[in-house]
Amino acid sequence: MSVKIILADDHRIMREGLRALLEKQSGMEIIAEAEDGRTTVDLAHELKPDVVVIDISMPDLNGIDATRQIISASPHIKVIALSMHSDRKFVREMLSAGASGYLLKDSAFEELGTALAAVLNNQTYLSPKIADTVVRDYLGKIDTTESRTSPSLTHREREVLQLLAEGRTTKEIASKLCVSIKTIETHRKQIMEKVGLNSVAELTKYAIREGLTSLE
């Protein structure tokens, strides 16, 4: 039986490269591709893959929140994160969301096969370049004030913040999330109060800094 895989990355060249790599390996089947986080979640719910390989910096819904939704609905699905970020904050958030693997993009082609074998064997795979950082993090040998001082946004607030940062209007966000405009306005007010910012421009900078969206 082949391993069913969904590839999710907003860069078509990256997806094509990963597809070409995996199709050379026996027992691997690419059943779908996605270029944004929300589509990835929908495909995962519909197709029930064995593995989702997902970029963290995805439009519409970032890879961290997409992973959280995928794992919440289907705990058996393994998620491998792709990222340009080696910062421990991104690694920690992705693992907390339920990912079983974390690959840096500059080594993804060399390591993906190994990562797939590991996660399918119920192990966690981390790129060697970041493994030491993660170990030190969990051993408590780093300053942990960062996680304590970061404002705690709900999952829905994170979604709204990302969409605001990507230039969506209140009406567009309400339609996408199937809620009222008033609800989105309330979320926006709560977000601003929590993070201490007063404009969409400031929220956009904050969202980029937090890895919810990118400059691309």
Is residue 87 in some structural domain?
yes
Boundary-marking domain end, from 90, 106, 138: 138
What's the pLDDT score for residue 110?
Answer: 86
Is residue 56 in some structural domain?
yes
What's the pLDDT score for residue 145?
Answer: 46
Q: Does residue 19 sit in the same domain as residue 88?
A: yes
What's the pLDDT score for residue 77?
Answer: 96
Give the total number of structural domains in the chain. Answer: 2
Q: Does residue 131 sit in the same domain as residue 186?
A: no
User: Model pTM?
Assistant: 0.77
Is residue 42 in some structural domain?
yes
Geometric angle at alpha carbon 98, from 205 and 207, rounded to 5°: 5
Q: Does residue 90 sit in the same domain as residue 9?
A: yes
Beta bridge partners of 81: 54, 102
Is residue 143 in some structural domain?
no
Is residue 192 in some structural domain?
yes
As given in the structure block, the two tokens for residue 80 are 């491998």
What's the pLDDT score for residue 123?
Answer: 92
**Residue 192 belongs to what domain range?**
151-209
Q: Does residue 74 sit in the same domain as residue 170?
A: no
Q: Does residue 63 sit in the same domain as residue 155?
A: no
Is residue 146 in some structural domain?
no
Q: Which residues of the chain have pLDDT under 70?
A: 132-151, 214-216
Query: How crowded is residue 121: how many other Cβ atoms within 10 Å of its Cβ?
Result: 10
Q: Does residue 125 sit in the same domain as residue 156?
A: no
Q: Does residue 121 sit in the same domain as residue 163?
A: no
Is residue 216 in some structural domain?
no
CA-closest candidate to residue 130, choices 87, 80, 94: 87
Q: Does residue 165 sit in the same domain as residue 116?
A: no
Boundary-marking domain end, from 138, 173, 188: 138
Number of residues that this document lists for the chain: 216
